[in-house]
Amino acid sequence: MYEQTCLDLSRLVCGKTPFPHFTSADILTNGVEKRLFEWFRQTNAWSLTEADFYTQYEFSLLDAGVPAELQCLISEETIYTIRNRFITVFEKSSLELSGITAHKLVDGHRIGIHNDYIGKAETHRLVIQINPDWDDSKGGYLLLFNSGNAEDVFKLVKPINNSAFGFEISDRSYHAVSEVYDFSRYTIVYTFKEN
């Protein structure tokens, strides 16, 4: 029998600049990140999405037929754990899940500067990195900006395997992903909205 929840959000490093966020290492437990990486490499669920500022492969974990050994990623217990950490860290009264998606960037892909802000439909996001083969030469850094100016970089966040970045979406949550080189950069993205 597999565990109902598979993540540990007890060790967060929080920041308010350039927008409210937190980071965490070793977020997935019991080897789930290894099984997830193998599934991501083998599944044919990926669909190419192209937009003005990005190109990536993606699919919804809520529609993909997640294998039994990875069901903990979409379990009520896991969603409850993430939601409650967001409520505590960002001092919100109530949040509701909007979606859980997998993203894949491959050689030459990047995501331009944007803030994800679309009003109350999406207000908080947790991004989990699944990148055991990553090193600095592969790129794919998460870039945080002080403003909408692409030269106004505040910080680089490395896409280290089994790490997470959580943030409050707003009109100032500007971020981007630098170009990926000879590598597949995988993430799971949990999105919530305020009730």
pLDDT tens, 120-155? 899 999 999 999 999 999 999 999 999 999 999 999
The reported pTM is 0.95
pLDDT of residue 158: 97
Confidence of residue 94 (pLDDT cuts 50, 70, 90): very high
Which H, E and C letters describe the chain, residue by residue?
CCCCCCECCCCCEEECCCCCEEEECCCECCCHHHHHHHHHHHCCCCEEEECCCEEEEEEECCCCCCCHHHHHHHCHHHHHHHHHHHHHHCCCCCEEEEEEEEEEECCCCCEEEECCCECECCCEEEEEEECCCCCHHHECCEEEECCCCCCCEEEEECCCCCCEEEEECCCCCCEEECCECCCCEEEEEEEEEEC
Residue 61 has pLDDT above 90, yes or no: yes
Mean pLDDT of 98-117: 97
pLDDT digits (tens, 9 = 90+) for 43-54: 999 999 999 899
| % of the chain surpassing 70 pLDDT | 97
Query: What is the per-residue pLDDT for 56?
Result: 96
What's residue 40's pLDDT? Answer: 97
To the nearest whole number, what is the mean pLDDT of the chain?
95
Domain boundaries, the chain: 13-194
Q: Which CATH number fits domain 13-194: 3.40.30.10, 2.60.120.620, 3.40.50.720, 2.40.160.40?
A: 2.60.120.620
| pLDDT per position as a tens digit, 147-164 | 999 999 999 999 999 999
pLDDT bin (cut points 50, 70, 90) of residue 1 is: very low
